[in-house]
């Protein structure tokens, strides 16, 4: 029996690693297709190496383009792969363009689709990932969820309960598995001029890449000015996503890094990022995955968005939604640094065994 797993972009890699291992563990055959949506070494190859993901059996090498062209190109190139390999099922993870593109090709060939991390909803349809989530879930046969709210969302969209399985969070499987291998912040920051200042007095970590935050020059400028202000209180380490790097250069805000209080880094590997988060006093981000990772690590997280598709991180975890309003961000930042954080809890089934549950369920389902 052959399960074809699909990855394309950075947040997919930490999700697929434990799933592939678990499927093999239960005796299922696995093939891995990389769409090539992300292609920089820093955005993909180092994740394969650090997480021990097998080399992809096929690389579709689609690269960057508009959403329509990228999605269409993935579909065009994925179809012949399905024709020649004839897998029993196609397994997709997360919410990137590669996820929906490959799911759509498979379902039209009557190959059942399995979606890992199903049912998350921001209820913000201006977010490209929200469209990808809704559509992928509608055409999936088996839906694996990470938190209780996801099943409610799916049922509201007419998906039968029998197809939904609450298994926990595969990204957190990867987190626990790699905690001891995390590369210490000291090492990652050693090239920085004032690394001792960062390490002695603490630092915040910032990531930013959502189109809604970085594509509009006005919004990006305001956000970066707020960040500059925060950095007067606590230095900020900022590994910059390629999309964001291009936008910062375009709006002429390279001066952002002149104060020496904001440290610009290239996108980091998984183990470097994990080490950095472990030493951070607070994380500011618009990423989905880091909201969950900080909750599992019990580190305060300020989410620079107006909503989240991962409400459990706010209800039980360390996450606070702060949007892009300077005052709100500054207040939450002070609070995260000064006050008792309150009771937080590791969400149910975020126990490092989500992929094993997926393996068991899929074995029975495919038997």
Closest C-alpha among 12, 17, 93 to residue 53: 17
Q: Is 266 in the site for ligand UD1 (CB under 6 A)?
A: no
174 near 17, Cβ under 8 Å? yes
Closest C-alpha among 271, 260, 267, 302 to residue 285: 302
> Which CB sits closer to ligand UD1, 41 or 190?
41
Q: Which of 40, 61, 249, 325 binds ligand UD1 (CB under 6 A)?
A: 40
> Which CB sits closer to ligand UD1, 50 or 231?
50
Q: Which long-range contacts (CB under 8 A, 24 or more apart) does 10-13 make?
A: 10/38, 10/43, 10/44, 10/47, 10/267, 11/94, 11/96, 11/287, 11/288, 11/289, 12/93, 12/94, 12/96, 12/98, 12/99, 13/44, 13/47, 13/48, 13/51, 13/53, 13/270
Closest C-alpha among 203, 219, 201 to residue 211: 219
For 89, the 3-state DSSP assignment is: strand
Segment near ligand UD1 (CB under 6 A), from 37-45, 160-168, 215-223, 351-359?
37-45
Q: Which listed residue (34, 38, 165, 209) is catalytic?
A: 209
> Which CB sits closer to ligand UD1, 88 or 243?
243
> Which CB sits closer to ligand UD1, 91 or 93?
93
Query: Using CA of residue 102, residue 108, residue 114, residue 120, what is the dihedral sign?
Result: positive
What span, in angstroms and rounded, lies between the C-alpha atoms of 324 and 284?
Answer: 11
Q: Is 128 in the site for ligand UD1 (CB under 6 A)?
A: yes
Q: Is 64 in the site for ligand UD1 (CB under 6 A)?
A: yes
Query: Using CA of residue 286, residue 288, residue 289, residue 293, what is the dihedral sign?
Result: positive
Segment near ligand UD1 (CB under 6 A), from 33-41, 229-237, 308-316, 339-347?
33-41
Segment near ligand UD1 (CB under 6 A), from 74-82, 240-248, 250-258, 299-307?
240-248
Q: Is 34 in the site for ligand UD1 (CB under 6 A)?
A: no
What span, in angstroms and rounded, lies between the C-alpha atoms of 70 and 75?
Answer: 9
Q: Which of 184, 242, 323, 326 binds ligand UD1 (CB under 6 A)?
A: 242
> Which CB sits closer to ligand UD1, 237 or 362?
237
Q: Is 37 in the site for ligand UD1 (CB under 6 A)?
A: yes
Q: How far is CA 198 from CA 192, 193, 202, 236, in A?
A: 9, 10, 5, 9
Q: Is 355 in the site for ligand UD1 (CB under 6 A)?
A: no
What span, in angstroms and rounded, lies between the C-alpha atoms of 178 and 279?
Answer: 15
Q: Is 304 in the site for ligand UD1 (CB under 6 A)?
A: no
Supply the minimum distance, in Å, between the C-beta of residue 197 and ligand UD1.
29
Supply the minimum distance, in Å, between the C-beta of residue 61 and ligand UD1.
11
Q: Which of 209, 247, 305, 310 binds ligand UD1 (CB under 6 A)?
A: 209
Q: Is 209 a catalytic residue?
A: yes
What span, in angstroms and rounded, lies between the C-alpha atoms of 278 and 343?
Answer: 19
Total residues contacting ligand UD1 by CB under 6 A comes to 19
Q: Interface residues with ligand UD1 (CB under 6 A)?
A: 9-11, 37-40, 43, 64, 95-97, 128-129, 209, 241-243, 246
- Which residues are marked as active site? 209
């Amino acid at each position: 029996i052959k399960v074809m797993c699909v990855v394309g972009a950075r947040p997919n890699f930490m999700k697929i690693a434990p799933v592939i291992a678990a499927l093999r563990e239960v005796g299922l055959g696995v093939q891995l297709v990389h769409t090539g949506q992300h292609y920089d070494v820093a955005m993909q190859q180092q994740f394969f190496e650090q997480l021990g993901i097998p080399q992809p059996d096929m690389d579709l090498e689609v690269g960057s383009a508009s959403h329509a062209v990228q999605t269409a190109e993935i579909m065009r190139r994925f179809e012949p792969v399905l024709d020649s390999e004839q897998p029993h099922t196609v397994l997709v993870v997360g919410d990137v363009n590669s996820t929906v593109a490959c799911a759509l090709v498979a379902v039209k060939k009557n190959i059942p689709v399995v979606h890992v991390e199903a049912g998350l909803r921001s209820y913000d349809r201006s977010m490209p990932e929200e469209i990808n989530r809704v559509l992928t879930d509608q055409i999936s046969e088996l839906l694996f969820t990470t938190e209780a709210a996801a099943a409610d969302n799916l049922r509201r969209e007419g998906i039968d309960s029998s197809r939904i399985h609450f298994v926990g969070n595969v990204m957190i499987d990867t987190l626990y598995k790699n905690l001891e291998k995390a590369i210490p912040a000291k090492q990652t920051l050693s090239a920085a001029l004032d690394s001792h200042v960062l390490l002695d007095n603490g630092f915040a970590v910032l990531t930013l890449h959502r189109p809604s935050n970085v594509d509009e020059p006005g919004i990006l400028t305001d956000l970066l000015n707020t960040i500059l202000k925060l950095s007067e209180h606590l230095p900020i380490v900022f590994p910059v996503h390629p999309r964001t790097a291009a936008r910062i250069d375009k709006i002429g805000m390279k001066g952002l890094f002149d104060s020496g209080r904001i440290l610009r880094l290239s996108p980091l590997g998984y183990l470097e990022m994990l080490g950095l988060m472990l030493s951070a006093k607070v994380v500011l981000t618009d990423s989905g995955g880091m909201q969950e990772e900080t909750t599992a690590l019990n580190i305060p997280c300020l989410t620079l968005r107006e909503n989240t598709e991962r409400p459990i991180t706010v209800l039980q975890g360390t996450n606070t939604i702060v949007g892009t309003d300077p005052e709100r961000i500054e207040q939450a930042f002070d609070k995260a640094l000064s006050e008792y954080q309150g009771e937080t809890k590791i969400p149910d089934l975020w126990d490092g065994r989500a992929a094993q549950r997926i393996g068991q369920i899929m074995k029975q389902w495919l038997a």
